[in-house]
Amino acid sequence: MIFDTKKSKSYVLGYDLSDSFCQISYLSSDSDMPQTLSVLAGAELYNIPTVLSKEKGTSNWYYGKEAQKRIEENGDIEIRGLIEKAGKMDMIEVDGTEYNPVALLSLFIKKSLSLLSMEMSMELVKAIVFTARDLDDKMIEALSAVVENLGLDSCDIFYQSYEESLYYYMLYQTEDLKRQNVVAVSYDFGRMYVYMLRYNRGLSPIVSCVDTSYYDDLALADPELPTSQEKIDMMDEQLSFILRHLMENTVVNSVYLLGNGFRSQWMHKSLKFLCTGRRVFLGNNLFSKGASIAAREKISPSSFASDYVFLRKDKLFYNVGMLVDKSGKEVYHALLDAGISWYDAAASISVILDKKPELKLIMTSVIEGTQHEELLELKELPQRPERTTRLRIDLKMKSEEILTVYVEDQGFGEIFPASGITWSLDVPCKRNIEIENII
């Protein structure tokens, strides 16, 4: 799918999922930077509370701020923890009836997406990237079921971590902001998460990775700033200590302070330290914006994006391709690009077999710059004249470290019917180098 700005206006979305709130950012085909959807026109209110409510004894459901209001004023039944419950497949009892958590999460996402109707039609959306802090296999399975429930088959769907959303957000920032390391601190009065984006500019493409750490030192019982100035000063002192320790012997160009925990700017000592030789930004919509940028890049990669690759343990470390004959010339045909999440890594191609009954995959490590071949012998392939055997090749990651190649003999039309023979090969993509040693 191509994101073509010459045709009619289209959009991509970034959807930030958490059990406290969700956000939706969008990027139009005629814009360079994304915008975040506000729940109130003319205001910068981006957070959609992740809550549903049900009116007792009826089939009326509400979501977000309206649900919060009805719970407080009308005594509606409250349903929270939608994302965690969907990931665990914990059934939810509401008003005497048990509900599938995926169905309720689908209802919430459907209702929240309806907010976009003032900006665009969903028919114009070409891709959606869902991003979350904890994105494991079960969560992806639950979100895939949500996508199926909502019938979002008219656009491409992707899933990514907050780490990857930070990487994509910085991809569209100016070079002076990402010349060295980048730090993003996310704090909503609970556990504080710190993401450090690092670059190795000695490799081509430039390899990027994110180190994640968390701290419970500033977690508060109530999700609001204390009234005591003494307690606030203690929090500031603790934050300053954490940041100084984190950035010790590390050059950081830019810092992003994210979340409601930083909104009142109580951290005077910490800000004084951060603002010495660094650019510091306050906000709370970086991850949804990064997800929308990723959506554009995934369906229509920009030229400058090819200069970077993002790696972490769930990424493919190799470019995978093969040599094919085009117009009498042997050329390299890319199948999978390094940096793709293993659960998204899939490719298909049909080829005409030339001479030997074998296939060769070319594996190129983006870390070491080395290249090797993986050979699949097509044993028991029916004997036919040259160039009269069509093969379908499907590649899919079985796990973080195993790429499986499936090959099917499709014959050659009515002249040489398909034999139905298939072959498979498991290709190891082991991490023979730690990510920490790359940067």
366: amino acid identity, one letter:
V
Question: Judging by DSSP bridges, how do beta strands 97-99 and 318-326 pair with one another?
Answer: unpaired
pLDDT at 355 over 90: no
pLDDT at 439: 56
DSSP assignment of 191-219 equals: SEEEEEEEEETTSSSEEEEEEEEEE-TT-
pLDDT at 434: 54
Confidence of residue 326 (pLDDT cuts 50, 70, 90): confident
Which listed CATH number (3.90.650.10, 3.30.420.40, 3.40.190.10, 3.40.630.30) goes with 165-288? Answer: 3.30.420.40
Q: Each residue of 383-394: pLDDT tens digit? A: 888 888 999 999
pLDDT at 280: 97
Closest alpha carbon to 250 in 339, 181, 317, 200:
181
Closest alpha carbon to 164 in 204, 125, 212:
212
Say what percent of the chain tops pLDDT 70.
Answer: 96
pLDDT at 44: 79
CATH architecture designation of domain 11-161 = 2-Layer Sandwich (3.30)
pLDDT at 420: 87
Collapsed DSSP state (helix, strand, coil) of residue 60:
coil
Rounded CA-CA distance 385/126 in Å is 44
Beta-sheet strands, E only, within 136-205: 156-161, 181-186, 192-200
Closest alpha carbon to 16 in 122, 133, 182, 108:
133
> Could you check whether 11-161 and 165-288 share the same CATH topology?
yes
Q: Each residue of 73-129: pLDDT tens digit? A: 999 999 999 999 999 988 999 999 999 999 999 999 999 999 999 889 999 999 999
CATH of domain 318-437: 2.60.34
pLDDT at 90: 85
Please report which helix (H) or strand (E) contains residue 111, including its range: helix 101-113
pLDDT at 5: 44
Q: What are the residue ranges spanned by the domains of the chain?
A: 11-161, 165-288, 318-437
Q: pTM of the full predicted structure?
A: 0.84
Tokens coding 227: 């009234």
Which residues are within 8 A (CB) of 40 and not within 5 positions of it... i.e. 6 or more apart? none
Of residues 413 and 284, which shows the higher confidence score? 284
Rounded CA-CA distance 291/132 in Å is 10
pLDDT at 1 over 60: no
**What's phi and psi for 114, nearest 5 deg?**
-65, -20
Rounded CA-CA distance 143/17 in Å is 10
Collapsed DSSP state (helix, strand, coil) of residue 423:
strand
Rounded CA-CA distance 243/133 in Å is 21
CB atoms within 10 A of CB 119: 13
pLDDT at 6: 47
pLDDT at 7: 57
**Looking at residues 296-311, what average pLDDT do you find?**
89
Tokens coding 210: 């994110």
| Dihedral (Cα; 428, 429, 433, 438), 10-degree rounding | 170
Task: State the chain's mean pLDDT as an integer.
Answer: 91
Q: Each residue of 212-233: pLDDT tens digit? A: 999 999 999 888 999 999 999 9
For the chain, what percentages of helix, strand and coil (3-state, to nearest 5) are there?
Answer: 25, 35, 40
pLDDT at 228: 94
How does DSSP classify residue 19? S
Handedness of CA 255, 259, 263, 268 (dihedral sign): negative
Query: Could you tell me the CA-to-CA distances from 408 to 347, 351, 411, 425 in Å, in that order?
Result: 14, 11, 9, 12
Rounded CA-CA distance 159/14 in Å is 10
